[in-house]
């Protein structure tokens, strides 16, 4: 396995050294190939996502296929400009001179992807890597096997196979890949494995981007348009892969006085979306596998919270389905409040004053996303200024990740580095500092002998 991995990297390095991937034309051809793949094989992609996650067709299209196409189309539109060296100011020390920042591809990139958006989170980093002129290996998640084998087949069919490769597999295959020397590793997944990636990368001094997770809070103030707020919380939690989303609201915070109103609004909107028997709804993804189903059951069965379920709680182990579930007033030391939920359970905790929610959030690790619903400008500013998170939305959930002019990435335990739009191009480029001078203006002051007069002139 190690030998195969070494040969794979050597082959890609030879392609990179040939210079082929650096040209604008090659990059454009590969971006167009991804769009073609997404257009022509839409049915296969939707089928694989249905098979792996029972992902509704609407969500597969809007969250995965169209996300990839959007990234390609932006890159196709902007690439010429992104590749153009950026003029930089010079100082009197170098006068006369000019300077520029040249974006140079890094070389051979490893992308290790995850299972919750297995199409988007595999191809989106590849779009960044090829836009920047690199060769790349994708290791999709073994937890979504239909999408993994589809990606392997389609990427080899549509893209330049001397520059873009897919290696399917689990821990042994990934370990063999991690032993190789890469020019950058882009990893999406858990903090636990993130640490393994970082340690492996350190051996070769390879830079990494870690797109991790965490517990994303949503704070709901009393003065909000409750119907809209409830719908948007539901959209981010249950209409996005049934809670199996890194930026989904993990837990909600509101005031003691307002909690029952928030719960009623959430229940009322949930019933409109998924009916009274949500396990039968075709608009809810299933839990990805029995390990994750059992993990979520354990969170619900924890004796500290088992009597705290105020809505939902139904499950169907055979079909790996769990209904949207709300828990109220869960203790801080319960399991559900101490690990990332990554599923359809939403615990709600309360504070006396809504401002206290900021301390509750800041007492935990920095989340990938934080959300606030309020009509009060002062609270909004305090939240933005005081809560550290990868990103945030005010009066919305999750949509910050769809704005390509915003960077997407974590901070602290939720990750390092970012991508999306131009940030993806930058993530896979080295910013090379270039100073240009002519032979004119060669001041003698910088050369020995270092006389006191010369020092005075500086």
Catalytic center residues: 211, 246
Query: Tokens 């705290």 appear where?
Result: 308
Helix H segments across 331-448? Answer: 357-362, 377-386, 422-427
To 10 degrees, what angle do helices 120-131 and 145-158 make? 30
Among residues 189, 217, 312, 407, which is the contact residue for ligand NAD, using CB under 6 A? 189
| Residue 279 interacts with ligand NAD (CB under 6 A): yes or no | no
User: Which of 368, 370, 379, 427: binder of ligand NAD (CB under 6 A)?
Assistant: 368
Give the residue at shortest CB distance from ligand NAD: 213
Pick the closest to residue 49 from 112, 113, 114, 115 (CA basis): 115
By the 10 Å C-beta count (0-12 exposed, 13-18 middle, 19+ buried), 276 is classed as exposed
Edge-first strand order for the sheet with 391-394 is 309-311, 325-328, 345-351, 251-255, 217-220, 369-373, 391-394
The binder of ligand NAD chosen from 124, 211, 413, 426 (CB under 6 A): 211
Minimum gap (Å) between residue 175 Cβ and ligand NAD: 6
151 counts as binding ligand NAD under rule CB under 6 A:
no
Give yes or no for residue 344 binding ligand NAD (CB under 6 A).
no
User: Measured from the CB atom, is 229 or 368 closer to ligand NAD?
Assistant: 368
- Residues 246-275 as x/- pattern, contact with ligand NAD by CB under 6 A: x-----------------------------
DSSP letter string, 365-376: PPPSEEEEE-S-
Q: How far is the CB of 154 from ligand NAD (least distance, A)?
A: 18
Name the one range near ligand NAD by CB under 6 A: 138-146, 327-335, 428-436, 440-448: 138-146
Characterize the bridge pairing of strands 369-373 and 345-351: unpaired
> Which residue, 149 or 175, has its beta carbon nearer to ligand NAD?
175
CB of residue 58 to ligand NAD, shortest distance in Å = 20
Q: How far is CA 50 from CA 43, 116, 304, 315, in A?
A: 10, 12, 35, 19
Point out which span in 152-160, 206-214, 259-267, 446-454 binds ligand NAD (CB under 6 A): 206-214
What is the DSSP annotation of 138-198?
EE--TTSHHHHHHHHHHHHHHS-TTTEEE---SHHHHHHHHTS--SEEEEES-HHHHHHHH
d(CA 246, CA 400): 13
Residue 171 in contact with ligand NAD, rule: CB under 6 A: yes
Contacts with ligand NAD, 117-136, as mask; x by CB under 6 A: ----x---------------
Tokens found for residue 364: 């935990």
User: What is the nearest approach in angstroms of ligand NAD to the Cβ of residue 115?
Assistant: 5
C-beta of 168 vs 329, nearer to ligand NAD:
168
**The token pair that represents 422 in the structure block:** 């131009």
Check residue 63 for interaction with ligand NAD (CB under 6 A): no
Q: Using the rule CB under 6 A, is 114 a contact of ligand NAD?
A: yes
427 binds ligand NAD (CB under 6 A): no
Which are the contacts of 305, defined by CB distance < 8 A and separation ≥ 6?
A: 299, 327, 330, 331, 334, 335, 336, 347
Residues in touch with ligand NAD (CB under 6 A): 112-116, 121, 139, 141-143, 170-171, 174-175, 188-190, 193, 196, 211-213, 246, 340, 342, 368, 410, 415
């Amino acid at each position: 396995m190690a030998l195969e991995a070494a040969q794979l990297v050597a082959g890609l390095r030879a392609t990179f050294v040939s210079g082929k991937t650096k040209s604008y034309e090659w990059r454009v051809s590969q971006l167009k190939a991804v769009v073609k793949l997404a257009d022509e094989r839409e049915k296969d992609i939707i089928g694989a996502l249905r098979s792996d996650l029972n992902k509704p067709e609407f969500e597969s299209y809007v969250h995965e296929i169209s996300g990839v196409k959007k990234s390609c189309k932006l890159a196709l539109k902007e690439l010429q400009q992104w590749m153009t060296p950026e003029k930089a100011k010079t100082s009197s020390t170098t006068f006369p001179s000019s300077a520029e920042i040249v974006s140079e591809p890094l070389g051979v990139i490893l992308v290790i992807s995850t299972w919750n958006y297995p199409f988007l989170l595999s191809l989106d980093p590849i779009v960044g890597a090829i836009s920047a002129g690199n060769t790349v290996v994708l290791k999709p998640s073994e937890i979504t096997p239909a999408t993994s084998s589809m990606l392997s087949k389609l990427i080899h069919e549509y893209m330049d196979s001397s520059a873009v490769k897919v290696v399917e597999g689990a821990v042994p295959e990934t370990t063999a890949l991690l032993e190789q020397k890469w020019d950058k590793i882009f990893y999406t997944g858990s903090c636990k494995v993130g640490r393994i990636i970082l340690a492996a990368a350190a051996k070769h001094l390879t830079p990494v981007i870690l797109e991790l997770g965490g517990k994303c809070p949503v704070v709901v103030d009393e003065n909000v348009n409750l119907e809209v707020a409830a719908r948007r919380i539901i959209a981010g939690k249950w209409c996005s892969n049934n809670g199996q989303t890194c930026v989904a609201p993990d837990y909600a915070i509101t005031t003691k006085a307002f909690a029952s109103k928030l719960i009623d609004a959430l229940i009322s909107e949930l019933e409109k979306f998924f009916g009274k028997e949500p396990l039968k709804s075709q608009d809810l993804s299933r839990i990805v596998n029995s390990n994750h189903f059992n993990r979520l059951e354990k969170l619900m069965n924890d004796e500290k919270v088992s009597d705290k379920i105020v809505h939902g709680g139904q499950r169907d182990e055979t079909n790996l389905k769990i209904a949207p579930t709300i828990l109220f007033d869960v203790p801080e030391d319960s399991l559900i409040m101490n690990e990332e939920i990554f599923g359809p359970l939403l615990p709600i905790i309360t504070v006396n004053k809504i401002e206290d929610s900021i301390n509750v959030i800041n007492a935990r690790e920095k989340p990938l996303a934080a959300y606030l619903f309020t009509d009060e400008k002062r609270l909004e500013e305090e939240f933005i200024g005081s809560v550290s998170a990868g990103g945030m939305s005010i009066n919305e959930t999750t949509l910050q990740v769809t704005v390509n002019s915003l960077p997407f990435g974590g901070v602290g335990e939720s990750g390092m580095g970012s991508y999306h739009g131009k940030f993806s191009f930058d993530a896979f480029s080295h910013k090379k500092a270039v100073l240009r001078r002519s032979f004119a203006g060669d001041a003698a002051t910088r050369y020995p002998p270092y006389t006191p007069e010369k020092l005075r002139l500086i």
